Amino acid sequence: MHELTPDNTTEYLRKVGRVAPGDRVSVRELSGGVSNVVLRVDVDGREPMVVKQCRERLRVAVEWLARLDRIWVEHATLGVLADILPDGTVPKVLFDDRPEYLFAMTCAPEDSTTWKSLLMDGQADAGIASNLGTLLGTIHAEAPRHPALATTLADTSLFDELRVDPYYRTTARAHPALAPRIDALIAAMNLPEGRRTLVLGDFSPKNILVHGGGLILLDFECAHAGDPAFDLGFFLSHLALKRIHKSLQDPGDEPKYRALLDAFWTAYLDRVDDRLGPRDELTRRAVEHTAACLLARVDGKSPVEYLDARGREVARESAITLFDARPETWERMLATLDAALPSPY
């Protein structure tokens, strides 16, 4: 595989016939990912595009290798999502190059910014959280009928490699007393075929672009046919972590970050039905995954970068409290998270 850089991408595009010899081209690397190189390509007189190529070694502090063919999981997932979501919600694939483990896609609008950056800047918009609840609910409700779930996306080995092992098993080793609970949670994700849906595996604020025309979802290399409760716990843990971080910075911000959790959850439940299983059972599993993902983002292989020592302590305490309390309803989960926040909450 020939690894692309901003310096050699133009030459590659000319070689494969995607850019004419006389075209003026500029290439720059986009930030935000740890597992791929993502390059924006601007060609005079044409709409910009993004070229994404896999890397075997992930850009984290510890050694973490991942299979290159995970990019074709993302490629397949983009096809599924294009079929079930409104136009423009995910990028459109323009071409792919399988020997080079890359594909090109449409570029987001110029005014796009990640929802993570807005949240970190104090902009906690419950309307965005609600829209995301509707989108994830639509994915979970509509995807089971798509044929890709029985073929390319039926393989869960990449999800195990990129999420279960570095997040859950690593965390279980760091917390031996919780290991049986985490092991049971891993086993419970092996749902019967009729209960599985498309699980994105990386549905988080850093992979959501906000622009004047709406939202764009990105990054699907962990996607698979599996348990929707993982997506819920993964996403809710991100909102809980932002709530902890901003509350410690400015206690006055706490209510608006708490409101994100409720707005997302309400919209999600409005969109799904009993095909995903009984609602109380889905809620219980989502709570358990929230606890596990919270703890994983402190003591797993990929901890969040923005929490200081106090923030990590609060996040760890919140997760362990959730494990201990075993709340079975949404209201009790929120109350448990409330109680774990520092005084005066």
Cis amide leading into 327 (omega within 30): no
**Is residue 216 included in any domain, yes or no?**
yes
The total domain count for the chain is 2
How far apart, in whole angstroms, are the C-alpha atoms of residue 160 and residue 222?
A: 9
Q: Is the pLDDT of residue 305 over 50?
A: yes
Looking at the structure, tell me whether residues 39 and 125 fall in a common domain.
Answer: no
Whether 345 is covered by a domain: the verdict is no
Regarding whether 303 and 182 lie in a shared domain, the answer is yes
Distance (Å, whole) CA 78 – CA 91: 7
Under the banding of pLDDT at 50, 70 and 90, the label for residue 50 is very high
Q: Judge if 185 and 68 occupy the same domain.
A: no
Q: Are residues 93 and 127 located together in one domain of the fold?
A: no
The sign of the CA dihedral 79, 38, 299, 341 is: negative
Residue 305 lies in a domain: yes
Q: Are strands 224-226 and 36-43 parallel, antiparallel or unpaired?
A: unpaired
Residue 147, domain member (yes or no): yes
User: Does residue 1 belong to any structural domain of this protein?
Assistant: no
Q: Do 21 and 140 share a structural domain?
A: no
Tokens of 138: 């639509």
Residue where a domain stops, chosen among 62, 88, 106: 106
CA angle 342, 343, 345 (to 5 degrees): 90
By the 8 A CB rule, do 39 and 63 touch?
Answer: no
Same structural domain, 152 and 290: yes
The 10s digit of each residue's pLDDT in 152-197 is 999 999 999 889 999 999 999 999 999 999 999 999 999 988 889 9
* Same domain, residue pair 85 and 135: no
CATH code at position 224? 3.90.1200.10
Name the average pLDDT for the chain: 93
- The answer as to whether 3 is a domain residue is no
Q: pLDDT value at position 155? A: 93
The answer to whether position 71 is within a domain reads yes
Find the mean pLDDT for residues 123-135.
98
Same domain, 216 and 331: yes
248 Cβ neighbours under 8 A, 6+ residues apart? 308, 310, 311, 314, 342
Residues in the chain: 345
Are residues 36 and 117 located together in one domain of the fold?
no
Domain encompassing residue 80: 9-106
Q: Is the pLDDT of residue 103 over 60?
A: yes
Shared domain for 246 and 127, answered yes or no, is yes
At residue 9 the predicted structure's pLDDT band, cuts being 50, 70 and 90, is very high
pLDDT over 70 (residue 344): no
pTM of the model: 0.93
Q: If you compute the radius of gyration of the chain from its CA atoms, what whole number of angstroms results?
A: 20
Residue 118 lies in a domain: yes
Domain boundary among 62, 89, 106: 106
Mind listing the pLDDT tens digit for each residue in 196-242? 999 999 999 999 999 999 999 999 989 999 999 999 999 999 999 99
Q: What is the pLDDT of residue 120?
A: 97
Tell which residue, 210, 206, 219, 223, has the closest CA to residue 148: 223
Based on the domain organization, do 176 and 238 belong to the same domain?
yes
Which of 18 and 193 is assigned the larger pLDDT?
Answer: 18
Asked whether residue 68 falls in the same domain as residue 121, the answer is no
CATH number, domain with residue 89? 3.30.200.20
Residue 177, classified by CB atoms within 10 Å of its CB into exposed (0-12), middle (13-18) or buried (19+), is exposed
Q: Which helix (H) or strand (E) holds 305?
A: none
Q: End of a domain among 82, 106, 130?
A: 106
- Give the pLDDT of residue 97: 96
